[in-house]
Structure 1
């Protein structure tokens, strides 16, 4: 899979709320009521990542979850990253 151009990335970012393109990756941060909510969502995301065969770089500190998506073997952001970002958005939306 080839990396997307910066123009393609910017166009696709318009479809995602709260995501940014930074240093060759898509990034976002979510904040929850508490650690349990953050970890519950991380678990749900993990199952989707396995299903898609694509895994984020992420960190969790208490109620905050920071996610960074890049297709490492392609050397940049690909359609695979946007597919996972949309899945994550859908999961976060169902928890609200």
Structure 2
């Protein structure tokens, strides 16, 4: 089982990520894509990474706005898996024009 991160570790991780907020229970980021098809391409790329890592985010799609929530449910909060996935999401968003 993945080890939970403490408050200090989560704060440190958040300071290195783009647009993420949260605490030891979950980390979150909202992304606004340039249009709906771009938003779906972002989600598709995130799904590919999530499947490969066997760690899946909660994603809420509202037209071109995406809300990502990461938490390791089996551990009861934020773990390194969530931080790693957040880093991948940042890379994916940066690759897609209009993502912020």
Do Structure 1 and Structure 2 share a fold, with TM-score over 0.5? yes
1:77 CA drift (Å):
0.1
Structure-1-length-normalised TM-score: 0.95
* 2:5 is the counterpart of 1:12: no
Alpha-carbon shift at residue 76 of structure 1 (Å): 0.4
Shift of 1:86: 0.3
Q: When you count helix as a share of all residues, which structure comes out higher?
A: 1
Per the TM alignment, residue 12 of structure 1 is displaced from its structure 2 partner at its CA by: 1.1
Q: Does residue 78 in structure 1 map to residue 79 in structure 2?
A: yes
Closer, same or farther: CA 74–23 of 1 in aligned 2, 3 Å: closer
Partners of 1:6 and 1:21 in 2: how far apart? 10
Calculate the TM-score normalised by the size of structure 2.
0.92
Aligned length: 96
**5+ residue gaps, structure 1:** none
Task: Name segments (4+ residues, structure 1) moved above 3 Å.
Answer: none
The answer on 1:95 being equivalent to 2:86 is no
List runs of 5+ in structure 2 lacking aligned partners: none
State the shift of 1:94 in Å.
Answer: 1.2
